[in-house]
């Protein structure tokens, strides 16, 4: 009986029936570093292709200009990738969707939409460890060698392409995916790498559970979801990861360090999320992350803004509540007061509007719209 | 789809080249639509086409480089951008009761429909056309070709209708080259009363 | 083609004439050729090759683009002498800094194509029929990085029908009894010679056709290059 059949037989009895020894017969070793293939070989040609894509990533105006954050994420990747650390290069891109991938030549891109959705370092390590798993097992190369037509190769390359290319988004989803076996292997390896780097493996399945929450909030469930650039088979992966968490106990989340390093960027990423124009998903996301131990005021302000801009039945009152909560926490973004001012003004509560606008200008005297808000105050005073 | 549009731009506005023409704008007074009068100090090029409605499009260096979009009398409920048939994207419509920040958000939405990014640099009250209006400055990273643009816009609402001018050009060389002339035109703008009986 | 150029062609004074009013439409007013041994920087080539899916969607093909870029570069190397170019590479470390200028050139090239060469209806009256575009002093950064006085930029977009697309095209042609003929692919290429002190576009070459196969070999790329540079003036 092969291992997979054994697992299937055991699965329906609940987690307790899965013996940890199910994995004991394949102890997995990190392979030695890969050497650059001969330029004339097929693989060498692929490598040159990847190098060119990497240059475009590096030069793209959508590259997140944040050397400290990049160094921090590079450090996490380094820990996970062990001996392969010198071969991996991280690129952070300013795209409000959930995606991270790694190409055969060691280039890794991570989108800001994914960074926003991570609660702690361990969750990011789960995603990146998974990608490193694909890299170490050379799944993409296997896939390429098996590709029946050259158009498949082209499409595959599109996966690692630059955000700035025309039509890239629509193409990434669904044109090329790793096999279920490869995904399962990458989860397994990712969990092992996470554990050996000291992370709490139980954070891995939370990543997917959290994402499911958002996707279920999509009112048009049949349409392909641009939030997801790849990684099908979520429900199955949640189960696999829960099994792995039972095997690898202990470890840290490093939540505090993660929150500290990402804090300077959260407001910008939240603004991008709001601009996506998907209020139902944003509300689901923001409701979840508002329970994080730091930054709640920013998330509450953002959710309030989503309500205010959607302006459906009852939304303005929901917005007022969220803004009030953010202010009560004491670290609200200045824009909270501007948004309050807008609502009060629309409801003809002149004195309240004036007070809110004044507070906004006090907190953000250099805001781009300071002069306009000043003129609103003058109008309301007249 | 977007690339096809981009290619169409590159090789000429596809299929409509016979109806589209470029007219010379002579120095002096110009009237855009029924109600917006502006004074121009030197020649401009007016790309005469219905493809860019409701805006009237002017340019100095050519459409892929710089665009001066002039809006005259956009009515309540009307979109500020062309409706491409069959794409089903979100529509950004003017409402007569819009506040200045909402007008800017509307133009931001229209300008980022193709995936470009928009960042507001400044928003201030400013007379435009003789009415109380707004002036704003912005930066765009254009999706189809990564070109980084600077922009300046002016808008006002008169008798429930929107009057506006938006000028976008690459931040290197071209925006600095033509910005001053655009500011001058905006200063001369006058919204005329609605013709009697209309 | 504008009327001035048409007149010049008729008079057999199409190229290489220094006479102002008969200037070729590919040359800026007053420019007739590079000084001998002028240093010319070759900017990183902006090439993108697409596959057209059955549904008419253009999908970027990194492998084709890679091949096309290699072939084009190799063809340019081989023909430097013929074109009279004393070329200098842009150092890789500077290429990152200059990417914005390269993107800007792409927009300028498409504008020149659309408004100077394109359907006559789109000529810009303020340009008065002349090749009169300039990137301004911003190009001095290239001079600083390379020591060159001029630069060549090239922008190439090419597309080829995928096999599925080709099959669909055959089907549509048959069903419409030959009345509907779809594009199998379109090759569009522009090249400019820019004076780096002023940013002035001195020469503009263009290519727009249904054939051409940059990705296959450097002979094919050489053929594309020859066609694109057909109007390039000889060095003085």
Residue A368 to residue B146, Cβ atoms within 8 A: no
Here the ipTM equals 0.86
Given CB atoms, is A49 within the 8 Å cutoff of chain C?
yes
Residue A151 to residue C58, Cβ atoms within 8 A: no
Q: How far apart are CA C60 and CA C160, in angstroms?
A: 11
Structure tokens at C217: 């070999």
Taking residue B144's Cβ as centre, other Cβ atoms within 10 Å add up to 22
Is residue A174's pLDDT more than 60? no
Most A CBs within 10 A among B143, B171, B172, hence the mutation to make, goes to B143
Phi, psi of C143 (to 5 degrees): -60, -45
| Confidence grade of residue A333 (pLDDT, cut at 50, 70, 90) | very high
Q: Is the dihedral of CA A380, A375, B141, B168 positive or negative?
A: positive
B90 to chain A: which residues are within 8 Å by CB? 277
pLDDT digits (tens, 9 = 90+) for B44-66: 999 988 888 899 999 999 999 99
B65 to chain C: which residues are within 8 Å by CB? 107-108, 111
Q: What is the mean pLDDT of residues B81-104?
A: 83
pLDDT digits (tens, 9 = 90+) for C6-20: 555 554 444 433 344
β-strand pairing of A107-111 with A89-93: parallel
> Which pLDDT score, from 0 to 100, does residue B102 have?
94
C73 to chain A: which residues are within 8 Å by CB? none
Strand partners, B138: B120, B151
Phi, psi of C117 (to 5 degrees): -105, -25
**Minimal Cβ distance to B172: which of C119, C122, C138:** C138
Phi, psi of B36 (to 5 degrees): -110, 115
B59 to chain C: which residues are within 8 Å by CB? 124
The alpha-carbon gap from C97 to the nearest alpha carbon of chain A, in Å, equals 8
Q: How far apart are CA C205 and CA C25, in angstroms?
A: 10
**Minimal Cβ distance to C107: which of B11, B12, B147:** B147
Residue A153 to residue C65, Cβ atoms within 8 A: no
Q: What is the mean pLDDT of residues C34-62?
A: 80
Which has the minimum average pLDDT: A8-12, B98-102, B189-193?
A8-12
Structure tokens at C137: 């002093």
- Neighbors of chain C with 3 or more C-beta pairs under 8 Å: A, B
Number of Cβ pairs < 8 A linking chain B and chain C? 100
Residue A374 and residue A361 in contact, taking contact as beta carbons nearer than 8 Å: yes
Q: What is the mean pLDDT of residues A162-172?
A: 34
Cα distance between the two ends of chain B = 40
Given CB atoms, is C106 within the 8 Å cutoff of chain B?
yes
Most C CBs within 10 A among A50, A151, A158, A161, hence the mutation to make, goes to A151
Residue C79 and residue C226 in contact, taking contact as beta carbons nearer than 8 Å: yes
Residue B24 to residue C125, Cβ atoms within 8 A: yes
User: Which CATH code for domain B21-191?
Assistant: 3.40.1000.10
Taking residue C220's Cβ as centre, other Cβ atoms within 10 Å add up to 18
**Minimal Cβ distance to A49: which of C58, C66, C163:** C66
User: Which CATH code for domain C28-228?
Assistant: 3.30.160
B122 to chain A: which residues are within 8 Å by CB? 368-369, 371
Q: How far apart are CA A288 and CA A285, in angstroms?
A: 5
> Which pLDDT score, from 0 to 100, does residue A163 have?
38
* Closest-CA residue of chain C to B13: C114
Domain range summary for chain B, segments of one domain joined by +:
21-191
The alpha-carbon gap from A76 to the nearest alpha carbon of chain B, in Å, equals 30
Q: How far apart are CA A92 and CA A74, in angstroms?
A: 10
Domain range summary for chain C, segments of one domain joined by +:
28-228
CA-nearest of A102, A159, A91, A161 to A129 is A102
> Which pLDDT score, from 0 to 100, does residue A154 have?
55
The alpha-carbon gap from B64 to the nearest alpha carbon of chain C, in Å, equals 5
* Closest-CA residue of chain B to A275: B109
pTM score: 0.83
Q: How far apart are CA B38 and CA B167, in angstroms?
A: 15
CA-nearest of A205, A231, A189 to A30 is A189
Strand partners, B48: B21
Q: What is the mean pLDDT of residues C160-188?
A: 73
Q: Largest alpha-carbon pair distance within chain A?
A: 84
Phi, psi of B157 (to 5 degrees): -110, 130
- Measured at the CA of B33, the angle between CA B30 and CA B39, to 5 degrees, comes to 20
> Which pLDDT score, from 0 to 100, does residue A212 have?
84
Query: Which domains are present in chain A?
Result: 3-247 (no CATH), 263-381 (1.25.40.10)
> Which pLDDT score, from 0 to 100, does residue B162 have?
97
Residue B22 to residue C118, Cβ atoms within 8 A: no
Residue B135 and residue B153 in contact, taking contact as beta carbons nearer than 8 Å: yes
* Closest-CA residue of chain C to B22: C122
Label residues A218-241 b or e (16+ Cβ within 10 Å = b). eeeeeeebbbbbbbeeeeebbebb
C134 to chain B: which residues are within 8 Å by CB? 173
Q: How far apart are CA A299 and CA A286, in angstroms?
A: 6
Residue A154 to residue C69, Cβ atoms within 8 A: no
Residue C62 to residue A150, Cβ atoms within 8 A: no
- Name the A residues in 153-212 with CB < 8 Å from any B CB: 164, 166-167, 169
Is residue A173's pLDDT more than 60? no
* Closest-CA residue of chain C to B173: C136
| Confidence grade of residue A152 (pLDDT, cut at 50, 70, 90) | low
Residue C121 to residue B22, Cβ atoms within 8 A: yes
- Neighbors of chain B with 3 or more C-beta pairs under 8 Å: A, C
Residues 6+ apart with CB under 8 A from A305: A274, A319, A335, A339
* Host H or E run for residue A269: helix A255-275
Taking residue C223's Cβ as centre, other Cβ atoms within 10 Å add up to 16
């Amino acid at each position: 009986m092969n291992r997979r059949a054994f697992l299937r037989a055991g699965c329906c009895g609940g987690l307790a029936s899965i013996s940890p020894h199910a994995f004991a017969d394949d102890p997995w070793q990190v392979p030695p570093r890969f050497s650059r293939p001969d330029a004339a070989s097929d693989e060498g040609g692929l490598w040159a292709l990847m190098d060119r894509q990497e240059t475009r990533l590096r030069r793209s105006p959508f590259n997140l200009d944040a050397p400290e954050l990049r160094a921090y994420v590079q450090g996490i990747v380094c820990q996970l990738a062990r001996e392969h650390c010198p071969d991996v290069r991280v690129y952070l891109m300013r795209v409000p969707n959930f995606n991270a991938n790694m190409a055969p030549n060691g280039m890794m891109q991570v989108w800001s939409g994914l960074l926003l959705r991570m609660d702690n370092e361990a969750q990011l390590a789960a995603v990146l460890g998974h990608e490193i798993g694909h890299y170490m097992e050379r799944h993409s190369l296997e896939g390429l060698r098996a590709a029946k037509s050259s158009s498949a190769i082209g499409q595959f390359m599109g996966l690692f392409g630059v955000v700035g290319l025309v039509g890239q988004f629509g193409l990434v989803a669904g044109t090329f995916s790793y096999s279920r076996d490869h995904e399962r292997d990458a989860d397994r390896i990712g969990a092992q790498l996470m554990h050996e780097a000291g992370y709490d493996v139980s954070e891995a399945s939370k990543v997917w559970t959290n994402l499911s929450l958002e996707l279920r909030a999509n009112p048009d469930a049949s349409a392909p979801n641009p939030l997801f650039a790849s990684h099908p088979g979520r429900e199955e992966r949640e189960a696999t990861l829960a099994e792995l968490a039972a095997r690898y106990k202990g470890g840290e989340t490093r939540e505090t360090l993660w929150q500290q390093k990402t804090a300077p960027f959260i407001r910008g990423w939240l603004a991008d999320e709001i601009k996506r124009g998907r209020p139902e998903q944003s509300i689901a996301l923001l409701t979840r992350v508002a329970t994080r131990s730091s930054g709640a005021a920013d998330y509450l302000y953002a959710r309030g803004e989503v309500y205010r801009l959607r302006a459906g039945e009852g939304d303005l009152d929901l917005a007022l509540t969220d803004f009030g909560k953010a202010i009560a926490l004491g670290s609200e973004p200045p824009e909270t007061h501007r948004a309050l001012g807008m609502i009060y003004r629309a409801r003809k509560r002149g004195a309240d509007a004036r007070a809110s606008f004044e507070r906004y200008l006090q907190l953000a005297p250099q805001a781009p719209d300071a002069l306009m808000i000043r003129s609103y105050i003058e109008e309301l005073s007249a | 789809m977007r690339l096809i549009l981009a290619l169409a731009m590159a090789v000429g506005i596809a299929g409509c080249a016979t109806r589209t023409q470029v007219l010379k704008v002579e120095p002096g007074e110009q009237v855009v639509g029924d109600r917006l009068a502006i004074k121009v100090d030197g020649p401009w090029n007016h790309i005469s086409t219905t493809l860019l409605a409701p805006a009237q499009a002017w340019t100095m260096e050519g459409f892929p480089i710089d665009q001066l979009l002039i809006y005259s009398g956009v009515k309540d409920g009307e979109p500020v951008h062309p409706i491409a048939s069959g794409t089903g994207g979100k529509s950004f419509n003017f409402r007569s009761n819009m506040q200045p920040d909402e007008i800017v958000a509307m133009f931001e939405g229209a300008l980022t429909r193709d995936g470009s990014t928009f960042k507001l640099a400044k928003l201030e009250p400013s007379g435009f056309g003789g009415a109380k209006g707004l002036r704003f400055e912005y930066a765009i990273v254009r999706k189809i070709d990564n070109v980084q643009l600077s922009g300046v816009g002016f808008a006002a609402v008169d008798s429930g209708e929107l009057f506006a001018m938006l000028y976008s050009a690459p931040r290197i060389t071209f925006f600095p080259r033509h910005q001053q002339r655009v500011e001058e035109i905006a200063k001369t703008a006058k919204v005329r009363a609605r013709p009697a009986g209309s | 083609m504008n009327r001035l150029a048409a007149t010049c062609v008729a008079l057999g004074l199409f190229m290489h004439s220094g006479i102002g009013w008969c200037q070729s439409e590919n040359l800026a007013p007053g420019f007739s050729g590079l000084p001998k041994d002028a240093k010319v920087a070759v900017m990183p080539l902006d090439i993108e090759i697409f596959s057209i899916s059955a549904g008419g969607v253009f999908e970027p093909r990194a492998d084709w683009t890679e091949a096309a870029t290699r072939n084009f570069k190799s063809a340019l190397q081989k023909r430097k002498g013929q074109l009279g170019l004393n070329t200098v590479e842009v150092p890789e470390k500077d290429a990152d800094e200059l990417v914005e200028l390269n993107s800007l050139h792409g927009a300028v090239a498409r504008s020149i194509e659309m408004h100077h060469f394109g359907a006559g209806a789109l000529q810009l009256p303020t340009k008065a029929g002349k090749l009169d575009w300039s990137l301004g002093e911003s190009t001095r950064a290239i001079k600083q990085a390379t020591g060159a006085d001029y630069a060549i930029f090239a922008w190439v977009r090419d597309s080829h029908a995928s096999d599925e697309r080709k099959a669909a095209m055959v089907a549509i042609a048959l069903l419409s009894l030959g009345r509907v003929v779809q594009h199998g692919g379109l090759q569009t290429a522009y090249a400019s010679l820019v004076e780096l002190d002023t940013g002035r576009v001195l020469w503009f070459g263009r290519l727009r056709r249904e054939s051409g196969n940059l990705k296959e070999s450097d002979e094919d790329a050489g053929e594309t290059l020859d066609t694109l540079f057909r109007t390039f003036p000889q060095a003085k």
